[in-house]
Amino acid sequence: MLQEIWRNLGELIGAGSDSLTVWQMGLRALIIYIIAILLIKAGDKRFMGRNTAFDMILAIILGSVLSRAVTGNAPFLPTVGASVLLVAFHWLFAVASYYSDWFGTLTKGRASTLVKDGEIQWDNMRKSHISRKDLEMALYSNGRVTDIGEVKVARFERSGDISVIPRDREREPHILEVSVREGVQTVRIELTGTDQA
């Protein structure tokens, strides 16, 4: 019974055929699409987000391998099996990276500090291949900072993003009200940041 179902499905998707019809390729695409959704769910959607090169490599390879099953350039079942193994290994590597800093650095790279207390760390800028213009653009877009001196820390993360922590802006007092009652002077002030209107 199971063999007959598989044989019928094999005929529908053109298993073993040198040329596929539009319908066979469409059915293969639908099946691969469903399998890809299940693989992404099994992989916790990590590799479809903005993560490290480690995650991007899997997305590229997985797309390439699965596309071969759609076009018939590789046998259907072994291709799906290889895709499942890729996601499983990616998941195992992610778990190993979580428990081992050494393995995490090996597979995902390491973050580096680009700015510390308003000072550019030029050695790390050179190693990361980040120009001053790239840094200034990232500071503005990620932290709304226009002056490097206003940055407490800026890091080039393993994902390729630049994260920014601005310095605490000094708070200046703003006098709201001065009053005198029964010989006592009262001054009400408000502390505001320099970036507020």
Answer whether residue 21 shows pLDDT above 50.
yes
36 and 85 housed in the same domain = yes
Nearest to 162 by CA among 139, 128, 146, 132: 139
* 61 domain-assigned: yes
Domain tally, the chain = 2
70 and 54 housed in the same domain = yes
50 and 132 housed in the same domain = no
18 and 72 housed in the same domain = yes
CB contact at 8 A, 82 and 65? yes
131 and 150 housed in the same domain = yes
Answer whether residue 6 shows pLDDT above 80.
no
133 and 52 housed in the same domain = no
* 192 domain-assigned: no
Provide the residue range defining the domain that includes 21: 2-105
Rg (CA), the chain: 28
Mean pLDDT, residues 156-162 taken together: 84
64 and 81 housed in the same domain = yes
Task: Quote the tokens at residue 10.
Answer: 């094999």
How many helices (H) and strands (E) would you count in the chain? Answer: 7, 6
> What is the structure's pLDDT at 196?
43
User: Residue 145: how many CB atoms within 10 A of its CB?
Assistant: 21
C-alpha span between 80 and 145 (Å, rounded): 48
Could you report the per-residue pLDDT of 38-47, keeping only the tens digit for each? 887 776 655 5
CATH number of the structural domain spanning residue 116: 3.30.240.20
Answer whether residue 156 shows pLDDT above 70.
yes
Pairing of strands 171-181, 162-166: unpaired
44 and 94 housed in the same domain = yes
128 and 76 housed in the same domain = no
11 and 98 housed in the same domain = yes
> What is the structure's pLDDT at 192?
58
Backbone phi and psi for residue 189, each to the nearest 5 degrees, phi listed first: -125, 160
> What is the structure's pLDDT at 107?
80
Identify the burial level of 129 via C-beta atoms within 10 angstroms of its C-beta, where 0-12 means exposed, 13-18 middle and 19 or more buried. exposed
Could you report the per-residue pLDDT of 87-127, keeping only the tens digit for each? 888 888 888 988 998 888 888 788 899 999 999 999 999 99
35 and 80 housed in the same domain = yes
* 177 domain-assigned: no
6 and 70 housed in the same domain = yes
